[in-house]
Amino acid sequence: MTADPLVYLIEDPDIARALRTDVRTGLTATPKVLPPRWFYDARGSELFEEITRLPEYYPTRAERAILAERATEIATRTRAKTFIELGSGSSEKTRFLLDAMSQSGELGAFVPLDVSASALRESTVDIAARYPGLSVRGVVGDFTRHLAALPAGGSRLVAFLGGTIGNLVPSERAEFLQNLRAELDPGEWLLLGADLVKSPHVLVPAYDDAAGVTAEFNRNVLHVINRELGADFDPVAFEHVALWDARNSWIEMRLRATAAQRVTIPAVDLTVEFAAGEELRTEISAKFHPDGVRDELAAAGFAAVRRWTDGYGRFLVTLARAT
């Protein structure tokens, strides 16, 4: 708990266990894979914020433009008393929504959930200072596993922004949306941001920028494993790879071993061999068609009420109601 009485951090002890499980499972799989949530320690969160400001990375700018234009409409339509943000990070874009919802006079609580405790501490203290009288409680957790930790009732709006829904494969998306719907009462709201399918000439540079920031972000997962699990990865011995998978409509980020190497991970009693050129998948980022988003929401028990894109048709924000 911080010194501010309006800010509470509920840290889940399962986070450390989840890291060990993901590392053991993913690095013994064929091909090797790690989930993207482990990018986001303090350094990873800083790097991602830097990525959002890069000229190649359009999603944040596109989504921000939509929210800036539509925040008042969203606040008026939902009239939410509790605003929950999943995968909140710095909550920078959500300030548009907080401003509009605070002005309506009905918003009483903001609950951001994020896997990075450091990012959450910083953002919750800042938001509590900016919005006096607003109850702010940050939940340190994984949005795929800790939805039950969110406060019940209170006429809620849940925001899941940034295109983070695309980090889940279709079966995971279906499960997540169904679980979220089970936590909501009929008539409560979901605000979902989703990146749209477009030319690979636009998509790939967004995940492989000229300055190399995304490459450093990608390798940060190895630094996290080294620090938390005592591993001896040499991050510079892995090169960043980003490619467009047209069949699955997603970007894949990978780390490619530049030479054969052996890595030991004492905390999980594991030794991992990498062949020269072997790749470790660290993220997918699925891209969508608007009707596909609508259909996935409907299958989980949400009705799309309003849909907006930015001026270039690059990004989609959908306001959906639990049916």
Do 233 and 281 share a domain, yes or no? yes
Q: For the residues 295-316, what does the mean pLDDT come to?
A: 98
Strand (E) or helix (H) holding 278: none
149: confidence class by pLDDT, cuts 50, 70, 90: confident
Where do the DSSP E strands lie in the chain?
7-11, 32-33, 82-86, 109-114, 135-140, 156-160, 189-195, 238-245, 250-257, 261-265, 270-274, 279-286, 302-309, 315-322
Is 204 inside any structural domain? no
pLDDT tens for each residue of 203-238:
999 999 999 999 999 999 999 999 999 999 999 999
Q: Looking at the 3D structure of the chain, how many domains does it have? A: 2
Q: Say whether both 79 and 178 belong to one domain.
A: yes
Rounded (10°) CA dihedral 111, 117, 120, 125:
100
Residue 43 has pLDDT above 90, yes or no: yes
Residues 225 and 138 reside in one and the same domain: no
Q: Residue 49 domain-assigned?
A: no
The secondary structure of 61-87 as a DSSP string is: HHHHHHHHHHHHHHHHHH--SEEEEES
Angle, in degrees to the nearest 10, between helices 42-51 and 117-130: 60
| Cis amide linkage into residue 31, ω under 30° from 0 | yes
159: in domain: yes
Task: For residue 314, give its domain range.
Answer: 55-199+288-322
105 is a domain residue: yes
Cβ atoms of 128 and 109 closer than 8 Å: no
pTM here?
A: 0.92
Task: For residue 174, give the CATH number of its domain.
Answer: 3.40.50.150
- Together in a domain, 27 and 115: no
Average the pLDDT over 121-139 and give the result. Answer: 90
pLDDT of 173 higher than 70? yes
Between 6 and 71, the higher pLDDT residue: 71
Q: Which residues pair with 286 in a beta bridge?
A: 250
Instruction: Please indicate, yes or no, whether residues 95 and 129 belong to a single structural domain of this protein.
Output: yes
Same domain, 306 and 185: yes
Both 239 and 94 in one domain: the answer is no
Give burial (CB, 10 Å; 0-12/13-18/19+) of 227.
exposed
Whether the pLDDT of residue 10 is over 60: the answer is: no
Give the pLDDT confidence score for residue 224 in this predicted structure.
Answer: 96
Cα separation, 24 vs 27, whole angstroms:
6
- Which amino acid belongs to residue 318? T
The proportion of the chain whose per-residue pLDDT surpasses 90, expressed as a percent, equals 79
Query: What's residue 89's pLDDT?
Result: 74
Task: State the pLDDT at residue 6.
Answer: 47
Q: Is pLDDT of 87 > 90?
A: no
Confidence of residue 12 (pLDDT cuts 50, 70, 90): low
CB atoms inside a 10 Å sphere around CB 159 = 26
Element (H, E) at 296: helix 290-300
269 or 5: which leads in pLDDT: 269
Give the tens place of pLDDT for each residue, 248-304: 999 999 999 999 999 999 999 999 999 999 999 999 999 999 999 999 999 999 999
The pLDDT of residue 179: 96
Asked if 113 and 170 sit in the same domain, the reply is yes
**Residue closest to 215 by CA, chosen among 79, 54, 103:** 54
Beta-carbon neighbour count of residue 31 at 10 Å? 10
pLDDT digits (tens, 9 = 90+) for 88-101: 776 788 999 999 99
Residues 151 and 279 reside in one and the same domain: no
| Residues 174 and 312 occupy one common structural domain | yes
**Phi then psi dihedrals of residue 140, to 5 deg:** -85, 110
pLDDT digits (tens, 9 = 90+) for 210-219: 999 999 999 9
Q: How many other CB atoms sit within 10 Å of the CB of residue 56?
A: 17
Whether 234 and 292 share a structural domain: no
The pLDDT of 21-25, averaged and rounded, is 97
Mark 179-189 as b/e (b = at least 16 C-beta within 10 Å): ebbebbeeebb
Residue 178: per-residue pLDDT: 97
Residue 3 pLDDT exceeds 60 = no
- Max CA separation in the chain (angstroms): 60
Residue 120 has pLDDT above 90, yes or no: no
Same domain, 279 and 297: no
Instruction: Give CA angle at 28 (23, 33), nearest 5°.
Output: 60
How does the average pLDDT of the chain come out, rounded?
93
DSSP-derived secondary structure for 225-247: HHHHH-----GGGEEEEEEEETT
